[in-house]
Chains A and B, each alone.
Chain A
Amino acid sequence: MDVIDIQELTKVYQSGFKKRNIVALNDVTFSIGQGEIFGLLGPNGAGKTTFMKVALGIVKATSGSVAITGRKPSDPRSRNSVGYLPENHRFPVHLTGLGLLEFTGRLYGMNESEINTRAKQLLPMVGMEKWGDTRIRRYSKGMQQRIGLAQAMMPDPDVLMLDEPTDGVDPVGKIEIRKILERVRSDGNSIVLNSHLLAEIEGLVDRVAILSRGRLVKVGSVDELTSRKSQYKINADIGDSLVEIPEDIGKILSMTSNELMVELTEDETINYVIDDLRMKKISIKSVVPIKITLEQSFIEAVTQHPDSDGGEVSS
């Protein structure tokens, strides 16, 4: 079941006296399933934050539709079970950390007993139990991120939307946040994660969408996005054997005495290459698809996209 469904979503801002059109999201369609950690990637101004804001009703869509658990953003009930950590947030600084959680709980309509129980769970979970009675204005950036994550988790949300959640958090804190997110997923809840830190996303998310200049460039699992189509690395005892591949099947990318890298016209033709090697009495140790990092995939997607150096956009 999809918890978030986006269909042909477009958001155009108008800027300045001349009402110049700035396309923040352009005909974006994808969906996010229950229990999924979904990563949104894109350079600055790609439309990642705008997407989150449109989904939460903070920004109105120009056209297209968004539904969270089947409800439109204009319906406040769509946010009943959605927690949100905004980017560059500025929580009410007159509140303490605990006060923020209590206030958030009240905004979600939780009763006092639920609020107390939940706040007592969350403060230790984000490593803030000693700082609950300190005013937010005295918090460091990392502490603000932690308490921000706690307030987003206050209603025990089905969908957690996090915009740059590890921004300003130290490496140990990042690992802790990662563990928290894994725990949220294990409870069957969905997470939408905006981040510039690709390495951080790569090991955590189930699927990724890459946005560039408001357009959805790629969407798929990390495996799908990082696999080179029809490129394989074959570890084998090649020695000085002569290995050749007909042009209609593919080509050799590189070859050493124990490694052969090939690019094939079709995935299925890998069997021909294996048969050929075996016929030459070459011992094969492994055949693995060549993978690139998510960062490489991201850069390829963003730079090769026809709109990559197009008109002005803003997130």
Chain B
Amino acid sequence: MRGMIHDCVIEMINRKAIWMFAVVTLIAILIILGTNSFNIQLQVEGQSDANPFSGMIDKVATNGISAQLGFMMFLAVLATAGLIPNMLVRGRAEYYLSKPISRTGLYLGKLISIWLVYGATIVVCGLITLLVLYLVHGYVNAGVVYLFVQSLLSFLIWLSVTIFAGITFGSTTFAMMSAFLVFILQMIFIYHDVFREIVGSGLIAFVGDTLYYIFPKMGEMSDIGDNLAMGQVVGDWMPVWSSVLFAVCLIWATIIIFNRKNY
């Protein structure tokens, strides 16, 4: 495991993926610094103590952090989609598979190391942005911890999809396309209630409902994260646990497929 984490860090640096996260964080910092003049103006006008905009700033900052984490998660999914197919190309697969590690161990080791390394990068970048927000706007909100947790969980779910496709089809393109496909499908299945009303067929409605419950619900998970960060109560946790269940099933299926394949 330690070897794989170490290798994942070197690979990330070597593939220059870390620069993408640095650039996104830099842009976020520049935006925050740009809004500093707005904050100063409010203070000069003597409105900062009972600032009617302070609530708005908190909300914008929380949504901004959420957007930044979400975008970095998207980048991480793209950056990591090729890692497994790349590991299993002819000539390299033999190197990994000839070592005294079970295929399940190799898969889980790679999954966890990618998740930890890229997840840690997302967290560090988010914390830097938070620090700048605090220094510039005095923004403090313990609720953003939920945004970090939600981002890491979503990243793990996306990884389960891309790695499943990467191992099954051995193609980076397929791995990326599978992530986009699942993203589009889950967006469509959110409207399963609307389908039921539009389509008269009970069977189609049943299929739509079933697929909605099976597929991950990343958009709804993001909304739950935002609500928790804003201190709001979450009424329905189903999108979270059903998405996690989807990832667990996909990880399980990947292990079975990986163990059966010849390289």
Question: Taking the complex as formed, is B135 at the interface, i.e. its CB lies under 8 A from any CB of chain A?
Answer: no
Q: Is the CB of B97 within 8 A of A56?
A: yes
In the docked arrangement, what's the CA distance between A103 and B2, Å? 9
Q: A93's closest neighbor in chain B, by CB?
A: B14
Asked whether, in the complex, the Cβ of B97 is within 8 Å of the Cβ of A58, the reply is yes
Q: B59 near A: Cβ within 8 Å?
A: no
Interface size bracket, B side: 20 to 34
Cβ of A109 under 8 Å from chain B = yes
> Contact between A106 and B95 (Cβ–Cβ < 8 Å)?
no
* Chain A 72-98 per-residue mask, 1 if CB under 8 angstroms from chain B, else 0: 000011111010101111111011000
Are the C-beta atoms of B100 and A80 separated by less than 8 Å?
A: yes
Is the Cβ of A86 less than 8 Å from the Cβ of B95?
Answer: yes
**Which of B95, B100, B101, B260 is the one whose CB lies under 8 Å from A91?**
B95
A-B contact count (CB 8 A): 82
Kindly state whether residue B58 has any CB partner on chain A within 8 Å: no
Q: Is the CB of A90 within 8 A of B89?
A: yes
Q: Which residues 44-102 of A have a CB within 8 angstroms of B?
A: 53, 56-60, 76-80, 82, 84, 86-92, 94-95, 99
Q: How far is the CA of A151 from the CA of B92 in the complex (A)?
A: 13
Do A76 and B100 form a contact, CB below 8 Å, given A91-B92, A92-B92, A103-B3? yes
Q: How far is the CB of B86 from chain A (nearest CB, A)?
A: 9
CB-based nearest A residue for B7: A103
Q: Tell me if A230 is interfacial: C-beta within 8 Å of chain B.
A: no
C-alpha gap A103/B7 in the complex (Å) = 7
Given A58-B94, A104-B99, A106-B2, verify A95-B262 contact (CB < 8 Å).
no
How far, in whole Å, are A86 and B99 apart by their CA atoms in the complex? 12
User: With A and B bound together, what is the CA distance between A57 and B263 in angstroms?
Assistant: 9
For B95, the chain A residues whose CB sits under 8 A away are 84, 86, 89-92, 151
The reply to whether the CB of A288 lies closer than 8 angstroms to some CB of chain B is no
Name the A residues within 8 Å of B3 (CB-CB).
Answer: 103, 105-107
Evaluate contact between B98 and A88: CB separation under 8 angstroms: no
Name B102's contact: one of A76, A87, A95 (CB within 8 Å): A76
Query: Are A57 and B7 in touch, CB under 8 angstroms?
Result: no
Q: Contact between B6 and A103 (Cβ–Cβ < 8 Å)? A: yes
Cβ of B10 within 8 Å of any chain A Cβ, yes or no, is yes
Min CB gap A102→B, angstroms:
8
Q: Which chain B residues in 228-255 approach chain A with CB under 8 Å?
A: none
**How many angstroms between the C-alpha atoms of A104 and B94 in the bound complex?**
13
What B residues does A95 contact at CB under 8 A?
7, 10
Q: A285 to nearest B CB, angstroms? A: 53
Of the candidates B87, B96, B100, B260, the one whose C-beta lies within 8 Å of that of A108 is B100
Complex: how many Å from CA A56 to CA B96? 11
Instruction: Tell me, rounded to whole Å, the shortest Cβ–Cβ distance linking B161 to chain A.
Output: 24
Q: B100–A88 contact, CB under 8 A?
A: no
Task: Considering the complex, give the chain B residue whose CB is closest to the CB of A55.
Answer: B98
- The reply to whether B97 and A88 contact each other, CB–CB distance below 8 Å, is no
Whether a CB of chain B sits under 8 angstroms from the CB of A30 is no
Cα–Cα distance between A77 and B96 once the two chains are bound (Å)? 14
Docked pose: A56 CA to B102 CA in angstroms: 11
With A and B bound together, what is the CA distance between A95 and B6 in angstroms? 11
The verdict on A13 contacting chain B, using a C-beta distance below 8 Å, is yes
Chain B residues with CB under 8 A of A56: 94, 97-98
B11 interfacial contact with A, CB 8 Å: yes
Structural contact, B101 and A76, CB atoms closer than 8 A: yes
In the docked arrangement, what's the CA distance between A86 and B263, Å? 12
Give the distance to chain A from B139, nearest Cβ to Cβ, in Å. Answer: 38
Residues of chain A within 8 A of B99, CB atoms compared: 79, 104, 107-108
A57 to B92, CA, bound (A): 15
Specify which chain A residues have a CB less than 8 angstroms from the CB of B97 in the assembled complex. Answer: 56-58
Q: Which of B5-60 contact A (CB under 8 A)?
A: 6-7, 10-11, 14-15
Residues of A within 8 A of B91 (CB): 86-90
Provide the residues of chain A in CB contact with B89, threshold 8 Å. Answer: 90
Q: How far is the CB of A83 from chain B (nearest CB, A)?
A: 8
Over the window 171-193 of chain A, the binary record of Cβ atoms lying under 8 Å from chain B Cβ atoms (1 yes, 0 no) is: 00000000000000000000000
Q: Which residues of A contact B (CB under 8 A)?
A: 13, 53, 56-60, 76-80, 82, 84, 86-92, 94-95, 99, 103-109, 151, 161
Q: Which 5 A-B pairs have the closest CB atoms?
A: A106-B3, A94-B14, A90-B91, A86-B94, A84-B98
**29 A-B contacts, Cβ less than 8 Å apart?**
A53-B94, A56-B94, A58-B93, A58-B94, A58-B262, A58-B263, A60-B262, A77-B100, A79-B98, A79-B100, A80-B100, A82-B100, A84-B94, A86-B98, A88-B90, A88-B91, A89-B91, A89-B94, A90-B90, A91-B95, A92-B7, A92-B92, A94-B15, A95-B7, A103-B3, A103-B6, A105-B3, A106-B4, A107-B99
